[in-house]
Amino acid sequence: MSHMSQWIPIATADECPPGTAIERLADGRMVAIANVGGTYHAIDGLCPHQGGPLGTGSLCGTVLTCPWHGWQFDVATGRHVVSRTVRQAVYEVREEDGRLFVRPSPHGHATGQTE
């Protein structure tokens, strides 16, 4: 079992209030965490366009916009809003005692894969 298949502590719930996104490093990978109305979502934090920091972008509903060039991703699915062939890996997120943990979702896909 690889280390990334386990739950990894990544942030505190207080660091990511509703309507915001943050970026954190988990096991050497940049992860963007978004709080959509109290529900946490996490996707690969490096924009596939030019490696922009997705977790520092703006969140509107479930859409996270990269601050560098405006690429937009649905944090619930990892899908690019316009191009359905571009997708970020998705991580499962759980909150426990005010701390956030992530692990790869069994449905997570690597960037650029299609269904």
**pLDDT tens digits along 34-70:** 999 999 999 999 999 999 999 999 999 999 999 999 9
d(CA 64, CA 67): 9
110 lies in some domain: no
Task: Check residue 107 and give its pLDDT.
Answer: 55
112 lies in some domain: no
| pLDDT over 70, % of the chain | 87
11 lies in some domain: yes
d(CA 91, CA 78): 9
87 lies in some domain: yes
| Residue labelled with tokens 């366009």 | 49
Total number of domains constituting the chain: 1
What's the token pair of residue 24? 């954190």
Q: Is the pLDDT of residue 29 over 60?
A: yes
CATH number at residue 55: 2.102.10.10
72-99: average pLDDT: 96
pLDDT band (50, 70, 90) for residue 113 = very low
| pLDDT over 90, % of the chain | 82
pTM (two decimals): 0.87
With 0-12 / 13-18 / 19 or more C-beta atoms within 10 angstroms meaning exposed / middle / buried, residue 99 is middle
Task: Check residue 110 and give its pLDDT.
Answer: 45
89-107: average pLDDT: 89
pLDDT band (50, 70, 90) for residue 114 = very low
Query: Mean of the per-residue pLDDT values for the chain?
Result: 90
- Domain range enclosing 97: 3-104
